[in-house]
Amino acid sequence: MIRAATVHDVPEIRAMIGELAAYHREVEQARATEEQLREALFGELPAAYALIAEDDETAATVGFALWFPSFSTWTGVRGMHLEDLFVRPGARGAGHGKALLAALAAVCTRGGFERFEWCVLAWNEPTINFYKSIGVQIIDDWRVCHLTGEPLAALAAQAPPVSG
């Protein structure tokens, strides 16, 4: 079963973020707290949204997808950026990942979103192959850019005054 996350799912979402970070070999980077997630997903101005995958027989939480709206200046229309998709190892191969993606695609079509996009690590061949099997186009011509920490602060310090 796929359902919208509730505030009661925050501890499980945080736990799965930790599991995803371990899979990506970046445990130290996953610093989001339950309180931050609660505010981001269920606060006055939500920054993101989440879906939960549950096992049909046990009702155990087996995965999640966390996304936020994007916007294309080329099409002038909103889109969806999938930040994280994770299915616990013991539940993989049972269709939960595809069900999560299908549910997100339905959100896109209902909401008039023309683009649904996300990133995948280049070394993650099993996931890349899964994505290709459902028709995902992998765009090799684009590179993801991250600016964080001290370089972000250094660049911000060079900002001219912005009016308005």
- Catalytically active residues are 131
**In whole angstroms, what is the distance from residue 21 CA to residue 15 CA?**
10
Looking at the chain, the number of H-run helices and the number of E-run strands are: 5, 5
- Burial-class residue 63 by CB neighbours within 10 Å (0-12, 13-18, 19+): buried
E-only strand ranges, 30-164: 49-54, 61-72, 77-87, 116-118
